[in-house]
Amino acid sequence: MKRKIVLSLLFFLFFSLLADSNKFFSKLNDAALFLTTQKVVYDPSYFRLDYPGGDVPKGKGVCTDVVIRAYRTLGIDLQKEVHEDMKKNFKLYPKNWGLKAPDKNIDHRRVPNLMVFFSRFGKTLKKSKKATDYTPGDVVCWDLGGGITHIGIVVNKRSKDKKRYQIVHNIGAGQVLEDCLFDFKIIGHYRYKK
């Protein structure tokens, strides 16, 4: 009898956690889609930001700002999270920019840094060419060539041919929804929930 009760409780707990997780990624999906209603000009400039909770000026941003803003809507401040981890574990992060110490103004706005952070604290998923491996709320990173990286969020809007989900990202035309999952080489695939 006790074993049956314990198994029932474990079963209930598992499905409760799964439902909470699905709710979170559904909200992340909605936050990303909402960003497409805001006019944003692509601007990769370095900005001095408030900390924590700093954001680039309204109406400006890059691909990482889409991810940062979507997560911030859910109460997760990637500026703070990345900065705190980089202060403790700077050696684990790329040194592509010649920095000798973390910089709270820019570190979270760099795709390679977000990739390290998501791989450390989220779930690293397989990089495949199979559309069904990518679900709403996933974060995907690409190599555009020439050392340029890119990031976006998978959302629940299907491509015209209904074969894959689309991406909310900013690759130069603002925060937009596009069918671009397989347009570039995928170098990272994550699910992150604090």
Residue 20: the pLDDT is 57
Query: What pTM value is reported for the model?
Result: 0.90
Q: Identify the domain containing residue 117 by its residue range.
A: 2-191
pLDDT of residue 194: 87
Q: Find the CATH number of the domain harbouring 181.
A: 3.90.1720.10
Strands (E), 16-87: 41-42, 60-61
3 vs 16, higher pLDDT: 3
Nearest CA-CA partner of 138 in 11, 8, 32:
32
pLDDT at 15 over 80: no
Rounded Cα gap, residues 31 and 100, in angstroms: 34
pLDDT at 169 over 70: yes
- Name the amino acid, one letter, at 64: T
Residue pLDDT, tens place only, 38-96: 999 999 999 999 999 999 999 999 999 999 999 999 999 999 999 999 999 999 999 99
Q: If you average pLDDT over every residue of the chain, what do you get? A: 92
| CB neighbours of residue 28 within 10 Å | 26
Look at residue 8 in the predicted model and tell me its pLDDT: 45
Number of domains in the chain: 1
106 CB neighbour count, 10 Å cutoff: 17
